[in-house]
Chains A and B, each alone.
Chain A
Amino acid sequence: MQLNPSMKHELIRKSVRHFAETELAPIAAEIDRDAVFPRSIIDKMRALNYFGLQVPREFGGAALDTISTAIVVEELSRVCAAVGLCVTVHNGVAVYPVLRFGTREQKQQYLSRLANGEMIGAFSLTEANAGSDAGSVETTAVKINDDYVLNGTKIFVTNGGICDLALIFALVDPEGARPANGVFIAESGFPGFVRGEVENLCGMRANPVSSLFLEDCRVPEKNILGKKGDGLKIGLVTLDNGRIGIAAQALGLAQGALEAAVKYAKERHQFKKPISSQQTIQNYLADMFTEVAAARLLLYRACALKDEGVRFGTEAAMAKLYCSKVATGVTSLAVQIHGGYGYSKEYDVERYFRDAKVTEIYEGTSEIQRMVIARAVLSEMRL
């Protein structure tokens, strides 16, 4: 088992860090304050393959392994988690299912455009009465001639305000003998695809999270992903993968907050010495450093399992649960170490603190992760 990062992984980390520190660091606070999606920087990222992380080269992707993918999201999120979110949702839960379940025709039609960032993707499962309970979606899909006509309202759609394509989870033939869940590839230009207002959220404010209204939205039958009744399966497999991305995002946030806390603790003097010389602060930093290191190992193990082609769902859930917990804990302590300044928007840790909370909520709440993990521990550990 390889525990040290390879030269490739380290070079990818350095390259993404350089990009993030040069391009994102100067604007991260501003785009958070104004809730602005940074289009010009996203354009630069398109040219550098950030939107085709694991897409094969034949479709113009970067063909990265999963550890590299996690490192990319981690390093972006270390500086600006909202941009990390855009990238991980696009790659992890929009591109991945098309790659995994798409027909040859669907791949030809969409993969290259997704991989080069010409199209930005979204994943659209959550509704007012469905989310954690993925089987209860109320959006409907009724077949009329060669199209399916979709009706319903999706909420909290990450990238919703700017996506060019969304995977819509819907109940197919609700009035038929055997209604089943299906996933539809809907382009934002399809008639009846209507975006709601961008949500006014606590964190991740530079990502245009919005509702999507499907008002007699006509989607060609050939745009069903996988088989008609595969919706739930596709959703669960996709979320397993997405959790790796959110864990990476949470880890990046924790890393960024840890570094900010260490820097501040060395600079800030009280009682005529840096606060880093106080044992209480040292204990905080020691715990933060340890937790971040443990989170990273857990995440990379889930990534390595996925790259080996074996089941990784439980490990992805554990990584997501733990990394998000570490992110909220570490960012909170980083604010504490900064004292009053940490509560001010003048310092990045205030943003990290707000951004971290949602990593315990989206792509499966911590409670859902525990359900997934408990199922595994009870079935696999035959004692």
Chain B
Amino acid sequence: MLKLIVCLKQVPIVTELPWDEQAGTLRRDLASGMMNLACLHALEAALQIKEQYSADILAITMGPPAAEEVVREAIALGADRGIHLCDRIFAGSDTYATSWMLARTIKQECPDYDLILCGSYTSDSETAQVGPQLAEELDLPAAAYIEKLEIHGRTLRVRRLVDNFRETLEMEFPALVTVSLENYKPRYAGLSGLEAAFDTGNIDRLNAADVGINKSAIETDGSRTKVRKVFLRKANKENILLTGTAANVVGDFLSKYESKISWAIGKDIEEDRNDE
């Protein structure tokens, strides 16, 4: 039986969340949580593996008490059991600390896994770092942003789109992938599954001490980054009028926007001109 681990994150439902212009932050106090979309795609990939082969799925999340909801949802969708890593001292963890803590938990609770699946990125921070960092912590072969995966014995073959090239990669189990939004459209949770996830769903809630992490370890191995400011990027439109003879207009146009045009047409205009 294959042992799969799916790492999940609860994110705020951003569409419902007001933006505090002055503080430059989301009003998270008003947030209702949901499972991050890419994590749902990762879970769907795991569920499809389970349908095709015999597999056991462990869903893990780290987050505040309310984050238990995404583990319940994963069980409702077909995961076999869950772990909810929850402790006040985890608050404010960055991606480095998160992947380190997830790695400790996985080594302790499910060391005999075959494949770890993560979402390619989260909708609230979009760093796309936890998956690859977790692979580093666990010293695993990994591929990020995969669109499709196949299993041949102990070999995992994955397909992904990188820089407009479609790559097919192979690696041996145990391995880690992060799943993009391209395929693995998430299924809907059935009402029977949702009820059962709360009635009989098997979730271990673990605190820091349970996975051998204390405050001093967090100070040494914890977060390396701090978010200083979050701001909305604004795109401005500007109308520019070029005047003069046709030759002047074209000359002006090229000199002002050469790099942008080169980028858009995929050809270095300056180099071409020098060649002439």
Contacts and interface: CB of A to CB of B under 8 A. Distances in A.
Interface in B58-109: 66, 68-69, 72-73, 76
A18 interface: yes
B66 A50 contact: no
A7 B68 contact: yes
B194 interface: yes
Contacts, number: 60
Contacts of A7: 66, 68-69, 72, 198
Contact of A48 (B66, B73, B191, B199): B191
Of A7, A19, A61, the most chain B CB neighbours within 10 A belong to A7
A72 interface: yes
A53 B190 CA distance: 11
Given A63-B195, A64-B195, A11 B188 contact: no
Interface in B186-206: 188-192, 194-196, 198-199
Contacts of A60: 192
A59 to B, nearest CB: 11
A48 B72 contact: no
Given A7-B69, A8-B198, A10-B69, A49 B188 contact: no
A273 interface: no
Q: Is the interface of B mostly helix, strand, loop or mixed?
A: helix
Contact of A61 (B76, B188, B192, B198): B192
Given A8-B198, A14-B34, A63 B192 contact: yes
Nearest to B13: A14
A62 interface: yes
Contact of B195 (A14, A16, A62): A62
B66 A47 contact: no
Contacts of B66: 7
A169 B101 CA distance: 64
- Give chain A's interface secondary structure class: helix
Contacts of B68: 7
A57 interface: yes
Contact of B191 (A10, A14, A50): A50
A14 B11 CA distance: 14
Contact of B188 (A12, A18, A62): A18
Interface string A278-294: 00000000000000000
A57 B199 CA distance: 12
Interface in A1-48: 7-8, 10-12, 14-16, 18-19, 44, 47-48
Contacts of B192: 49, 52, 57, 60-63
Contacts of B191: 12, 15-16, 48-50, 53, 62, 64, 68, 72
Nearest to A50: B191
B183 to A, nearest CB: 18
A11 B190 contact: no
A44 B194 CA distance: 16
A61 B195 CA distance: 10
Contacts of B189: 15, 48
Nearest to A69: B191
B73 A11 contact: yes
28 contacts: A7-B72, A8-B194, A10-B32, A11-B72, A11-B76, A12-B194, A14-B32, A15-B76, A16-B191, A18-B188, A44-B188, A48-B188, A48-B191, A49-B192, A50-B191, A53-B191, A57-B196, A60-B192, A61-B192, A62-B190, A62-B192, A62-B195, A63-B192, A63-B199, A64-B191, A64-B195, A68-B195, A72-B191
Given A7-B66, A57-B192, 8 more contacts: A7-B68, A8-B198, A10-B69, A14-B32, A19-B188, A53-B191, A62-B195, A64-B191
Interface of B: 32, 34, 66, 68-69, 72-73, 76, 188-192, 194-196, 198-199
Interface of A: 7-8, 10-12, 14-16, 18-19, 44, 47-50, 52-53, 57, 60-64, 68, 72
